[in-house]
Amino acid sequence: MTTRFIGKPLKRKEDPRLIQGLSHYVDDLNLAGMHYAAFLRSPYAHANIRSVDLSKARRASGVVLALSGTDIDGAIQPVPCAAQIPDMKSGARPVLARDRVRFVGESVAVLVASDRYAARDALDLIEVDYEPLTPIVNPEKAIAKGAAPLHAGQKDNVAFKWELEGGDLKAAFKAADKVIKQRIVNQRVIPVPIETRGVLADYQPGEGQLTVWSSTQIPHLLRTQIASMLNFPETLVHVVAPEVGGGFGTKLNVYPEEAIVAYLAIQLGKPVKWSESRRENFQATIHGRDQIDDLEVAIKRDGTILGLRCRVIADLGAYYQLLTPLIPTLTGLMMTGCYKIPAARMEITGVFTNKMATDAYRGAGRPEATYLIERVMDLVAAELKKGPVEVRRKNFPQPKDFPYATPTGLIYDSGDYQKALDMALKVADYKKLRQEQAKLRKEERYMGIGISTYVEICGMGPSSAMPAGGWESATVRVEPTGRVSVMTGSSPHGQGQETTFAQMGADVLGIDPSQVQVVHGDTSVVPYGIGTFGSRATAVGGTAVYKSLQKVKEKLARIAAHIVGSDPERMVFANRKIFAKQSPKKSVAFGQAVSAAYVAKTLPAEMEPGLEATTFFEPTNFTYPFGTHICVVEIDAETGDVKLVRYVAVDDCGNVINPLLVEGQVQGGIVQSVGQALFEEAVYDEQGQLITGELMDYALPRASDMCWIEAARTVTPTPVNPLGVKGVGEAGTIAATPALAGAVADALAPFGVHHVDMPFKREKIWQVMSKNRRRVQ
């Protein structure tokens, strides 16, 4: 295959419609007779529901239906959780609370009206008699002796305990020259996709057909779950993910509103739409992170790390969403990062609190792991008065060590960590940066340099390691006119696979990307698929596409060879022609061969007509992208303001289909990380009220908060798939927070401080600098 398009920075096919506002999100879809649903949400974090009186709301103008949790009891199954951890307790979320509410924003009633104003107004007419209970907000207090359990019939608020140990930890700590202990906190954050969630459902009673449009990353899994939750035939459920304006993991889930809106459409025989407000999105769409990690590290004086022990308190919120308990376990699997640490142990305590559930947020457990191990590397360097680069280098596995087995049971596919580090140091001109830092310190200016050498786990599959299948599907159909439809089970929502899969189709079949149309998100059109998350769409979904393209290509080669009288093995596809390698004059136009497949008069004997192939690709392993990020900050000692000065990102995601899109993913991920590092924090007060409940109080990073990102790449292909691609959707978020944390800690080193918890808000940094001002000069 000649690669005219793969590896080239093609502009995205998706962008013209997005930039011009011509795309259709759920809220842009309107059906005749459409009604609107609105949810009444609990203002209390913890309360018993004595009664819900819907009588006034039901009489309100325009209202056609109003239901409480009691009204739908038994009709809709609770929110599904696919994660299974031995001995985990029940934390199932009812779609509407019936007896008790357990977080602010939990729905207690739903109503449907003829327009969205009538629906919203009628909410104010619902009377709920709450009996407030003491909210349990702090996860450590939640598991302290005497804390009342959130869930009836449970003895405490421990949802599960999970342990992972590899290597001889006892021996490691016995052989240690020093043991470092540190608590680090990875704060709860709110993902904030630009498009909030939305659901539109339509039911045709004659045909018995239910169609649900939802802003989701997993249309097929949602279809299965809606069928199960409503006890409705899956064959009659059609789910469409139209344009989805960002997910970041929040839409890798099944929410009460998806099942309820479908249920309401069936009950009413009318289309029903619900659009989530920003406030609802803050309160009732999954949050991310929220771990307290207590670390113990066994080290040798030369910087060798012998062992790592970590006790984690994971604040799960009140209920499980789809993958809630699973996310912190990914932190455990990746806790040793890109280092040869022979022994490691993690003990996770999953805790119920009166908050929204946590679940997969861009990186999902791996940013927490990288943050943890990279903070460890910096603390080791500080303890031993060595450079952060030296300590990291000392503990890297060498390229010859791959595939590399970790004590946590993973097999890293391929890597050259040294090479990425060297490139980053060169791009940053690290030596010069250190000289500049020394000079500025004399002027009482506080510049800090942070380094993060990371590895992450993505290309989510294989199925043996996943809760609900780790494969992906693709159908390639060459249409009679010669246009190519690629139907992918992946569900891109910003990742750009309409472009990258078209690049692949064009190169395999010797045509132009404009002739390849990528179709996704519609369960009636594309084969059953798993969806887009865990940086898997190209590594797993792309491989399924590639294999289906190969199958179609083989068939076309046989048809073309039959027409020109040549050997199918020797046919070449280029410039919309198929020709024999040795004698290019033996050639047919691409369209002619395609036509032959459909007209079916000149096909080789025994060949079926048509030109379509489907693949369900099952990967043999995860993929493990890696790299080095270097961040330079300067802190204003008077205000505590942290300013980004430089950011160097060297990422290795294996082979690259489109470097422009890779850079876009890296940039976006870094910016999102800057948000967590500098500003973002979901703050619940003691009453369990989310006081960072809107964008006036919850700061997202802006262009003016960023510096230029100097991005470079090394290329270490993976042997796990034929494309050699690893995935890059989350790398930026995984790599960047520790680089920023390292830079801030480095800037504060003259104050005798080696670790500060995120977010690095100005007042917090100012406090650190004023309290420690004269300790070290």
Partner 1 sequence: MIPASFEYQAPKTLDEALRLVERHGDEAKLLAGGHSLLPLMKLRLATPRYVIDIGHLRGMSYIREENGQIAIGALTTHTEIEQSALLASKCPLLPETAAQIGDVQVRNRGTIGGSLAHADPGADYPAAILALDAEIIAANTSGTRTIPARDFFVDMLTTQLHPGEILTQIRIAPRRAQSGAAYEKLHQPASGFAIVGVAANVLLGEGGKTIEQAAIGITGLSARAFRAEAVERALSGKHISEKVIEDASRNGAEGVEPLSDLHASGEYRREMARVFTRRAVARAIVAARGDA
Interacting residues toward partner 1 by CB under 8 A: 116-117, 120-121, 277, 279, 638-639, 641, 678-679, 683, 691-692, 694-700, 705, 762-763, 766
Smallest distance from partner 1 to CB 766, Å = 7
Given the structure tokens 């649900």, which residue do they identify?
Answer: 212
As a whole number of angstroms, the distance between CA 257 and CA 95 comes to: 7
447, containing H or E segment: strand 446-455
Smallest distance from partner 1 to CB 670, Å = 17
As a whole number of angstroms, the distance between CA 31 and CA 8 comes to: 41
Smallest distance from partner 1 to CB 347, Å = 33
Smallest distance from partner 1 to CB 105, Å = 14
Q: Which CB atom, from 255 or from 679, has the smaller least distance to partner 1? A: 679
User: Do residues 677 and 743 touch, judged by C-beta distance below 8 A?
Assistant: no
**Residue 75 three-state SS:** coil
Residue 455 identity (one-letter amino acid): V
CA distances from 628 to 32, 249, 649, 734 (A): 54, 24, 6, 11
The C-alpha angle with vertex 89 and arms to 87 and 91, in degrees rounded to 5, equals 150
Q: Which CB atom, from 223 or from 273, has the smaller least distance to partner 1? A: 273
Listed residue (731, 777, 726, 737) closest to 760, CA to CA: 737
Q: How many helices (H) and strands (E) does the chain have?
A: 19, 28
Phi, psi of 434 (to 5 degrees): -65, -35
Listed residue (506, 341, 346, 310) closest to 407, CA to CA: 341
As a whole number of angstroms, the distance between CA 621 and CA 474 comes to: 19
As a whole number of angstroms, the distance between CA 489 and CA 217 comes to: 10
- Cα-atom radius of gyration of the chain, to the nearest Å? 28
**Residue 485 three-state SS:** strand
SS3 of the chain: helix, strand, coil, percent, to 5: 30, 25, 45
**Residue 110 three-state SS:** strand
Smallest distance from partner 1 to CB 701, Å = 9
Q: Which CB atom, from 282 or from 590, has the smaller least distance to partner 1? A: 282
The C-alpha angle with vertex 538 and arms to 533 and 543, in degrees rounded to 5, equals 125
DSSP state of 639: T
CA distances from 583 to 152, 554, 567, 719 (A): 78, 19, 11, 35
Listed residue (636, 615, 595) closest to 544, CA to CA: 615
As a whole number of angstroms, the distance between CA 522 and CA 214 comes to: 11
Smallest distance from partner 1 to CB 706, Å = 13
Q: Which CB atom, from 524 or from 639, has the smaller least distance to partner 1? A: 639
Q: Which CB atom, from 116 or from 477, has the smaller least distance to partner 1? A: 116
Q: Which CB atom, from 613 or from 677, has the smaller least distance to partner 1? A: 677
Q: Which CB atom, from 118 or from 264, has the smaller least distance to partner 1? A: 118
Smallest distance from partner 1 to CB 702, Å = 8
Listed residue (490, 495, 603) closest to 548, CA to CA: 490
Q: Which CB atom, from 120 or from 483, has the smaller least distance to partner 1? A: 120
Smallest distance from partner 1 to CB 533, Å = 28
Smallest distance from partner 1 to CB 63, Å = 15
Q: Which CB atom, from 77 or from 277, has the smaller least distance to partner 1? A: 277
As a whole number of angstroms, the distance between CA 771 and CA 773 comes to: 6
Smallest distance from partner 1 to CB 679, Å = 5
Residue 118 identity (one-letter amino acid): A
Q: Which CB atom, from 116 or from 238, has the smaller least distance to partner 1? A: 116
Smallest distance from partner 1 to CB 116, Å = 6
Structure tokens at 202: 């339509």
Q: Which CB atom, from 280 or from 746, has the smaller least distance to partner 1? A: 280
Q: Which CB atom, from 260 or from 678, has the smaller least distance to partner 1? A: 678
Q: Which CB atom, from 190 or from 559, has the smaller least distance to partner 1? A: 190
Structure tokens at 371: 């943050």
Listed residue (70, 161, 97) closest to 354, CA to CA: 97
Q: Which CB atom, from 119 or from 741, has the smaller least distance to partner 1? A: 119
Listed residue (256, 213, 255, 257) closest to 237, CA to CA: 213
Helices (H), 429-520: 430-442, 497-509
Smallest distance from partner 1 to CB 46, Å = 22
Smallest distance from partner 1 to CB 38, Å = 9
Smallest distance from partner 1 to CB 23, Å = 21
